[in-house]
Amino acid sequence: MVLSEQIRRYFGTDGIRGRVGDGSITPEFVLKLGWAIGHVFAKGHRSKVLIGKDTRISGYMFESALQAGLSAAGVDVYLLGPMPTPAVAYLTRTFHAQAGIVISASHNPYQDNGIKFFSGEGTKLPESIELEIEAMMDQPLVTVDSALLGKAHRVDDAAGRYIEFCKSTVSSKLDFSNLKLVVDCAHGATYHIAPNVFRELGAEVVVMGAEPNGLNINKDCGSTEPRLLQAAVLENKADLGIALDGDGDRLIMVDHRGELVDGDELLFVIARAQQRAGNKHPVIVGTLMSNLGLEQALESYNMALHRAKVGDRYVMEMLKETGATVGGEASGHIICLDKTTTGDGIVAALQVLAEIQETGITLHELRSAVTKFPQRLINVRINKMVNLSDHVEVNAAIKAVEDKLGNNGRVLLRASGTEPVIRVMVEGRDAALINQLAIELAGVIETLL
């Protein structure tokens, strides 16, 4: 299978992201971006926009730049401080704001940063609005009359509001007091929120990664580096571990044996929990990268996996198209649409904990129905982006690999939406075979392109 993705000038699949000081991630650009957003959302009316950020040091600079740009466009700004991405989505809805902005590069290191957006409904912006913002960036920045400048307000109780929301996504009758959890906050935006959510629900919590200094976000911790969490779960004889990423929209868990439980397996656990609770909808949404083992496990319980393009934006689109309520990615972006409007690591973790409490079954046992197929992913750097679907030699190479795999595997080639890279993925039952085929196919792609 071949997939090509359109490259826009500034926006990627999840807002705008890059290295601080380069390209679009500069104070000048972000000032103009704030002004452009203000004009797109204000449309001649008094509007308000919420701004949250993660804990990286550059967040202060970009928060000030966005605030200045929005004020120049006549938009009032509500500053939330360090706040998880899904919290900004939730608070944008409850404040009846026109938009929410998150300053974050998610799971990236501190040298990177980015800007992503939510609509007034707490959902990712449609591409049409993003293109409207990009078009506005070409216009000269004109400040409104001084009497119409936007004002800034700091929201002091934002964390408390979001903590109460998270707790409300599970039954108030549940008692987590028999659970010992290790929670890794990745030195990110959940550092002052996640431990309190789980403690207030009764759990004993051992906290990791909750001492942000602006430079240590995601460093050797969190959902992308869970090795220390695995060791801590065993050392503390905990029931499980919870790893979030820098902005709190990803979740990876660790069972009591110190084994990783990824987004595909967590998606299965949540889907089964909803099915057991009476949700008879047969569709679960994953992505083109979702493991075949997840698909087969769901089929054994009369549920079908629908695959969206990679990116939680596309998972959300397919959730709405199919009427499903659960979707996600192996990376740990999990959307529980019956609970909230975007991927939320804390909310997803609570759904898993609720299933453990209600069934009396450990996480290790709950995830055991998913037998994952080996996957090999190779990134092939190319000179320029191409339309893969039109490339005869590439399609012939893919066909040759698919013939060797038969019905016991699959192939995916995906052009990156942000850089000149072709992602080559081969999946199948035989780890040695899929590794060999992936290397061979990547070599063919590199030679041809």
The set of catalytic residues is 106
CA dihedral 433, 435, 436, 440 (to 10 degrees): 130
Which DSSP symbol is given to 373?
P
The structure tokens listed for 312 are 């939680």
Q: Which amino acid is at 16?
A: I
Question: Across-strand partners of 424?
Answer: 378, 413
Alpha helix (H) ranges present in 43-146? Answer: 59-72, 85-94, 127-136
Q: Residue 77: which of 90, 64, 61, 87 has the closest Cα?
A: 64
Q: Residue 267: which of 248, 283, 280, 246 has the closest Cα?
A: 283
The structure tokens listed for 200 are 């207030």
Helix or strand holding residue 46 (H, E): none
- Cα–Cα distance, 359 to 72 (Å, whole number): 55
Backbone phi, psi, residue 58, to 5°: -75, -10
Q: Is 81 exposed, middle or buried (0-12, 13-18, 19+ CB in 10 A)?
A: middle
- Cα–Cα distance, 367 to 269 (Å, whole number): 6
How are strands ordered across the β-sheet holding 152-154? 16-19, 112-119, 99-103, 47-53, 75-82, 152-154
Do 261 and 233 form a contact (C-beta atoms < 8 A)? Answer: no
DSSP 405-431: HTTSEEEEEEE-SSSSEEEEEEEES-H
Helix or strand holding residue 2 (H, E): strand 2-3
The pairing of strands 240-244 and 251-254 is: antiparallel
Do 210 and 185 form a contact (C-beta atoms < 8 A)? Answer: yes
Do 271 and 128 form a contact (C-beta atoms < 8 A)? Answer: no
Helix or strand holding residue 159 (H, E): helix 158-168
The structure tokens listed for 318 are 């397919």
